Amino acid sequence: MAIAERHQSATPETARGDVPVISAHDVSKTFGDGRVVALNGATFDVRPGEFIALVGPSGCGKSTLLRIVAGLLERSGGDLRVHGEPVKGPHTDVAMMFQKPTLLAWRTAIENVLLPAEIAGKVTEADRQKAEGLLELTGLTDFAFSFPRQLSGGMQQRVALARLLQTGADVLLLDEPFGALDEFTRERLNVELSRITSEVGATTMFVTHNIGEAIFLADRVFVMTPRPGEIAAIVDVPLPRPRDPAIQVTPEFNALVAEVRGTLGGRL
């Protein structure tokens, strides 16, 4: 299976004590000439291979923070670094996935996965082998030559995830990627995402409104308040990852859900 060497080099188990991949200090974002404070005083570090979930009510700045880390949105204040370098715009080490898969309808699954390589330049045989390996990793080998219209919503999101990994970025940012899917498909994809991110060792930030989803996926949960968005608490999830769905009925899991819900004060 062909997976980016950069992903293979760092795993959550071996890289926890390393220098932070993402480091934020007092990051803020205002809109409308400063009249609307969307994000206020965000300060945190994300370690190599760590999975962070951002949870909070609508409008609390979760997606804003993710876009700032991606370099798609300029911060209004504070310091933000990825791999020790100030974020001044999009970076090849950072890739982002949105709620909609945004696949090109006229391209097959493997052609969609190969899109980052095409944009970067010539598609090599190594690129094709990597794309095939990623489709295998996401359980789509038999659908490599299917068009988006021939795929279910969950399968389309798997193609989008494979395309995300094809970039070779070691920082993955996911903005409610499964929010539009039914609960059963969403649960299956959460299991797949947990397995894949653990296997490739990517550093991941994941936005969700769902507390249970956040606990199931993450090493730590950043709990955010309503606007102005602030990180009200950081909840550690000391459960081995990847996780089996059965863990969601355990007392340990539900105690963590209650802790996050208590921090939010019922404001979700």
Give tens-digit pLDDT for 233-246: 999 999 988 888 99
Contact (CB, 8 A) for 149 and 157: no
Q: Residue 70 corresponds to which tokens in the numbers above?
A: 């991606």
Q: Residue 83 corresponds to which tokens in the numbers above?
A: 């791999």
Express as a percent the part of the chain with pLDDT over 90: 62
Which run of H or of E encompasses 22? strand 22-31
| C-alpha–C-alpha distance, residues 143 and 126, integer Å | 20
Q: What is the mean pLDDT of the chain?
A: 87
Contact (CB, 8 A) for 256 and 215: yes
For the cut 90, the answer to whether the pLDDT of residue 1 exceeds it is no
Which run of H or of E encompasses 81? strand 77-82
Q: What is the pLDDT of residues 114-144, one digit of tens each?
A: 999 998 888 899 999 999 999 998 889 999 9
Q: Which domains does the chain have, with CATH numbers?
A: 5-93+171-264 (3.40.50.300), 103-168 (no CATH)
Which run of H or of E encompasses 53? strand 51-55
In 3D space, the residue among 198, 187, 202 whose CA is nearest the CA of residue 240 turns out to be 198
26 band by pLDDT with thresholds 50, 70 and 90: very high
- The reported pTM is 0.87
268 band by pLDDT with thresholds 50, 70 and 90: very low
Judge residue 68's burial from the number of C-beta atoms within 10 Å of its C-beta, 0-12 exposed, 13-18 middle, 19 or more buried. Answer: buried
